[in-house]
Structure 1
């Protein structure tokens, strides 16, 4: 389709589905095409230095958009749908004057949401089979050893589905690791081929139910280690986020407008930290014999004080934003650890339901479950926290929006982590319906994670002064 011998005026056309085009034609013009793709705004600029009249031609085809003016050619590739534009004799804009734009072939930004949905569906299925599918599971030959123990059936079903989810993302990791450019064929494999990957996902979901129990128990032991690695990766991602947040607000271009937030946010974090400490002492230490809880809470308070003092040291000067956020995070980990204590623990004064789960228990379970899935997703796309390249060295027009291999690696570890939460880090533990991450193993995993968080954050502050010859800027 081409138009020849047309003279364009100034045209502003709104497109379909949020996409829009602003086309300004004149003696010296800039043409800006805005397209809303995957919730991101893509801006394509083309400059014309002469009047768009006479022999101007606008050509549109399936895989490319060409704007030809005299001898100048602007070639934009990577489009798979036609760009429709109606030529108008004046400034009028009708419904037919629109722009329809979408990326050619697979889109990695959309692909990550699809992988997240697959991960969510698998774990919803794991929770469902754990709590409500014991009768159906007894019909499977390889689960006969558990037919007199419904909780054993539930734990095995969680591990089997977790194993299938792990294998799916591990295969994706092995086939995409090392991908660094958009022109790599593996880019299409990561972002496309969904019929094939759907079959692969279904296969890995079903096959583990026909494996011997000894294989699943071996996977469960390995999953404990993998879940620990996931917690470490997530911890590093959180610390990296806190530092990026602080750097953004402290940057010269934002320092003035973020002056008030730089005061209010740390103050709020420390107020919430103090309130959290008081409430934990009230709720979880009803008498002096609750020595373990007293130790957990008191040690958390000591860690908060030490981190704050280090951050305010003249040589460190890390500010209160990072230490305030990390202090609140330590409070959360301590609270979460104590909440994971078994129902038989006598030092927890909160109401416990040993029978049918109430609405508060169900809502708490759903919030915790969705929060963990979201944390897995956000950690998976935060590959820059584990990159040894500086930003200006790792980004260009042909680079990937995120590391595909790291993304799938985190989801594979996340499958192990969710399995451990559903069985309470104990492969033979009795789990109640609508419960997640309950048991003494869960308690100590969270407490150790809290200590690691304090140690790693403290090292990021004092490390540059201990190892003066090493560059910590990245």
Structure 2
């Protein structure tokens, strides 16, 4: 009897906990769970945009009558992506305007951010449908603006990644962990450099098999030079930032270089060898992984509002919001423009094959410029404190 009573009490306890969690989520007192709901909506928008591009030609026959498309198949798919992206952008920019500046959990805007899901789902569906009734000229104008918005998203993501890398290095070098984590830092830094060198060697083998592949050779060689330069600056006595941060940054720029070369259109001798290794199922897996990466990157960047705070205060009151709601929605709004650019190859008039993403020379140069910008921002974060310190010393003397 006691066993049955205890088991039944445990069941009632678990049910009450689950119902309490659901009640908190419904009554807008769980902002941590709310971010996952927004991430899921963003994932649905990505999938809808992809479906509109690859499989929307039969369902969206009315769009063939628009003057901008002139019945063109590729333009129809591109406009489908831009229309879904526009609806997603309007939804998140509306959430940004209605939640920016929220600082306390007792604020009414906190309830709007974390609850009212039925109303927000209706709004998202409405904002997704409305752009399909807008004229083609307006959609093309949005496509031009989306280039800028996607660039803003890349810049925010870049600063967030560099901030995380520097935070990780500072954490290892803190007084609490500096002694016990020396071996871990050396192993992680060594592994980072080994992966960077292996990646560069493989890119030479796969994407520069002939001396005539001058552009790819330039991309890869310049990436190696940037890696060496970052390491030299980081190890300079005046900087003394260690070898972990340039190693992790090296992984990032090698990945950007690889992504840039992979974005080159097929048919070139320099990428034929790598392209021949891909199969249909591998292309599908790569596409699915790319979509998930977009969603995860947007989600993780959106909750990292502290990387843009000039005055960082470690003390946080219990009734403070756990993350910046306005910044969170702003990142998702620019992310809506970013996934549109990836699905159309950053070019509204560039045809995209099924199960492809971020392919074209425009995509390649966006990745390369993003790589170079990442190195410049990282070096500035290393050198800026020294410059400010020298200026303050000069002014005091």
TM-score by length of 2: 0.91
Q: Which of the two has greater strand per residue?
A: 1
1:122·1:161 contact (CA, 8 Å) conserved in 2?
A: yes
Q: Cα distance 1:227–1:36, how it changes in 2: closer, same or farther (>3 A)?
A: farther
Q: What's the counterpart of residue 445 of structure 1?
A: 366
Measured after TM superposition, the shift of residue 255 of structure 1 is 2.5
- 1:352 deviates by 3.1
TM superposition shift of 1:36: 8.2
Which residues in structure 2 correspond to 1:292-441 (within 5 Å)? 292-352=215-275, 358-392=280-314, 395-441=316-362
CA distance in 2, matches of 1:197, 1:101: 18
Larger RCO, structure (CA 8 Å, separation 6 or more): 2
Give the Cα–Cα distance (whole angstroms) in 2 for the partners of residues 414 and 297 of structure 1: 28
Alpha-carbon deviation of 1:264?
0.5
- Give the alignment of 1:31-42 within 5 angstroms: none
Q: Secondary structure at the match of 1:402?
A: coil
1:19/1:101 contact within 8 Å kept: no
After superposing the two structures, state which structure 1 stretch, 218-227 or 284-293, moved more.
284-293
> RMSD in angstroms over aligned alpha carbons?
2.7
Measured after TM superposition, the shift of residue 392 of structure 1 is: 2.6
- Residue aligning to 2:120: 197
Shift in CA distance, 383/109, structure 1 to aligned 2, threshold 3 Å: same
* Matched residues, number: 385
Aligned positions of 1:35-434 closer than 5 A: 105-106=27-28, 107-140=30-63, 143=66, 146=69, 148-352=71-275, 358-392=280-314, 395-434=316-355
Q: CA separation in 1, counterparts of 2:390 and 2:337? A: 38
SS of 2:58's partner is: helix
Q: Quote the Cα distance in structure 2 between the aligned partners of 1:155 and 1:378.
A: 27
Change (3 A) 1:234 1:469: same
1:52-104 superposed Cα distances (whole Å, 9 cap, x missing partner) = xxxxxxxxxxxxxxxxxxxxxxxxxxxx959xxxxxxxxxxxxxxxxx99678
Runs of 5+ consecutive residues of structure 1 not aligned to the other structure: 1-10, 21-34, 38-79, 83-99
Q: What do residues 245-280 of structure 1 show as CA deviations (whole Å, max 9, x unaligned)? A: 112222222233322211110000000111111111
Change (3 A) 1:186 1:260: same
Contact 1:357–1:433 (CA<8 Å) still a contact in 2? no
TM-superposed deviation, 1:350: 3.3
* Distance in 2 of aligned mates of 1:295 and 1:16: 64
Taking a change above 3 Å as real, the CA distance of residues 19 and 304 of structure 1, as seen in their structure-2 partners, is: farther
C-alpha separation in 1, matches of 2:216 and 2:284: 25
**How many Å separate the matches in 1 of 2:185 and 2:150?**
35
More helix by share: 2
Distance 2:286 2:264 in 1: 15
Q: Report how far residue 139 of structure 1 moved.
A: 2.6
Note closer, same or farther for the CA distance 1:180–1:459 as it changes in structure 2 (3 Å cut). same
**Alignment match, 1:462:** 383
Counterpart Cα distance in 1 of 2:26 and 2:58: 48
Instruction: Tell me how far apart the structure 2 counterparts of residues 432 and 398 of structure 1 sit (CA, whole Å).
Output: 50
* Deviation by residue 1:316-370 (Cα, 9 ceiling, x = unmatched): 111111110001111110011000001133311334379x961111111111111
Q: Which has the larger radius of gyration?
A: 1
User: CA separation in 2, counterparts of 1:150 and 1:308?
Assistant: 49
Alpha-carbon displacement from aligned partner over 1:12-61 (angstroms, at most 9, x marks no partner): x99669979xxxxxxxxxxxxxx989xxxxxxxxxxxxxxxxxxxxxxxx
Please tell me whether the aligned partners of residues 129 and 157 of structure 1 are also in contact (alpha carbons under 8 angstroms).
Answer: yes
Q: What SS is found at the alignment partner of 2:195?
A: helix
Whole-Å separation in 2 of the counterparts to 1:165 and 1:450: 28
